[in-house]
A = this chain, B = another copy of it.
């Protein structure tokens, strides 16, 4: 592989510029900003590298599909070109779409999640093409544009193009190093239900002196929210935990290994918190992180939020909430239970809007691909990777691969301070080139590896 790695080393600067070019194009799914443009740019990149791109329209963002290579094995690669909203803008040290390089890091919304990994993987293909003239296996890229809004229309692409998904395994969009610099690999994902709650009062904002006799939607929202989860982190929606599956003995073995690899205090101090929720540590922390569902207030707004005081009775209050779901919870079932709960608690007049839903997913932990990714990670990173049966985050893994039983492994160029979904998102360029080499090496080894799980 030295020839391929040398090609990567020789082309570092142009690869960085390629990533900057893509990061400088905003592609904010939640705000419908730059989506079509970015899909076109991804297709252009594929073309440059020698992958024939195809754009598939959906009722939402287009899916960019690209296949290359030949051979007995087929590797699916899943990425997304959309990004989270950049707000709050004032907390960024350089503009979110400037893609500035500072101290060996590239700062941009989307650098870690997920344009960095996408470009690294495309560059890995280029390195093979330019060095060997071909790929040792079939590679299929599926690059969607709505991952950050619960992949709302990916199912349309999957349903119409099942043949494009067929593969012996899938490299998932992301992964990275933990705070102790150990690379992590992931074989599952949580699901999600994202809702917006809206509470209404009078038909207009009023002088707050009227709050003594006119209903306040902010109070109503606070009271409603306080019925959803208690101070012991117990979610109070009737039946919420009904379908939660405990980890299997095999999974518990993985969790024990993760716990043994971690120093909780390093992460705790890095986040500036006194303790993790409920004071959990060690194995309990790992288990809670990966196997507990959540109910999270992601946003709250009502009335005056500027400087100083304004004595206003708001006419509207809104909360954004995400529920991260674990097998076998179903987002549609949780939405129904949430609505029933609010109604039973006397909050039937609070409007609940679903902004996205995804199923939780598990994929096989003992597949050929998992073994290959683990062994190659050891070689590239020079350390034992931390293998997780699932991740705490969400993606359309059920939709794209898990429902078909396709072995799936997440790995990527993130690190503990990548600030995904937060201001100053960034990647370390050294990590990025490591991921590029890692993917190039996976192509080689997966093509050669003996089969220990049925191809799909």
Q: Are B225 and A209 in contact (CB under 8 A)?
A: no
Question: Are the CB atoms of B273 and A214 closer together than 8 Å?
Answer: yes
A213 to B281, CA, bound (A): 10
Interface size class of A (residues with CB under 8 A): 35 or more
Residue interface mask A289-332, B partner, CB < 8 A = 1:
10011101111111111111111111001101010100000000
Of the candidate stretches A163-171, A373-381, A415-423, the one touching chain B is A415-423
Chain B residues near A313: list those with CB within 8 A. 296, 298
A260: Cβ under 8 A from any B Cβ = no
Please report which residues of chain A, range 222-279, place their CB below 8 angstroms from some CB of chain B when the two chains form the complex. Answer: 222-223, 225-226, 229, 231, 271-273, 276-277
Known contacts A213-B276, A299-B303; 13 further A-B pairs (Cβ under 8 A): A30-B308, A31-B307, A192-B311, A202-B271, A202-B273, A205-B422, A208-B296, A209-B392, A212-B292, A213-B280, A216-B297, A298-B303, A309-B320
Q: Check if A13 is an interface residue, CB within 8 A of chain B.
A: no
Could you tell me the distance between the alpha carbons of A420 and B226 in the complex, rounded to whole angstroms? 31
CA distance A308 to B150 in the complex (A): 11
Q: Chain B residues near A229 (CB, 8 Å)?
A: 219
Does A294 lie within 8 Å of B190, measured CB to CB? Answer: no
Q: Is A449 an interface residue (CB 8 A)?
A: no
Q: Which residue of B lies closest to A294 (CB)?
A: B212
8 Å CB contact of A309 from B306, B322, B324: B322
The answer on a CB contact under 8 Å between B299 and A421 is no
- Which chain B residues lie closer than 8 Å to A150 at the CB level? 309
List the B side residues contacting A196 at CB < 8 Å: 309
- In the assembled complex, the Cα of A292 lies from the Cα of B210 at a distance in Å of 11
Question: Looking at A190, A196, A311, A392, which has the most chain B CB atoms within 10 Å of its CB?
Answer: A311
**Which of B204, B288, B306 touches A212 (beta carbons < 8 Å)?**
B288
- Within the complex, what minimum Cβ distance (angstroms) separates A306 from chain B? 6
Question: Assuming A209-B190, A212-B277, A307-B30, is B298 touching A346 (CB within 8 A)?
Answer: no
| In the assembled complex, A194 has its CB within 8 A of some CB on chain B | yes
Chain B residues whose CB sits within 8 angstroms of the CB of A419 once the complex forms: 204-205
Interface 1/0s, chain A 183-221, versus B by CB < 8 A? 000000010101010000111111111111111101101
Give the residues in chain B near A48, CB-CB below 8 Å: none
Contact across chains for A421 and B205 when beta carbons are under 8 A apart: yes
CB-CB nearest in chain B for A205: B422
Residues of chain B lying within 8 A (CB to CB) of residue A30: 306-310
Q: Are A422 and B300 in contact (CB under 8 A)?
A: no
Which parts of A386-402 form the interface with B (CB within 8 Å)? 391-394
Among B190, B285, B393, which residue has its beta carbon within 8 angstroms of that of A213? B285
With A300-B300, A300-B303 as given contacts, are A209 and B310 in contact (CB-CB < 8 Å)? no
If the complex has contacts A300-B300, A301-B300, A304-B298, are A207 and B422 also in contact, measured as CB distance less than 8 A? yes
Is A53 engaged at the interface, CB distance under 8 Å to the other chain? no
**B304 contacts A87, CB within 8 Å?**
yes
Which of A196, A308, A355, A423 gathers most chain B CB within 10 Å?
Answer: A308
For A305, give the chain B residue with the smallest CB separation: B301
**Chain B, residue nearest A277 (CB):** B213
Known: A296-B313, A298-B311. A204 touches B394 (CB 8 A): no
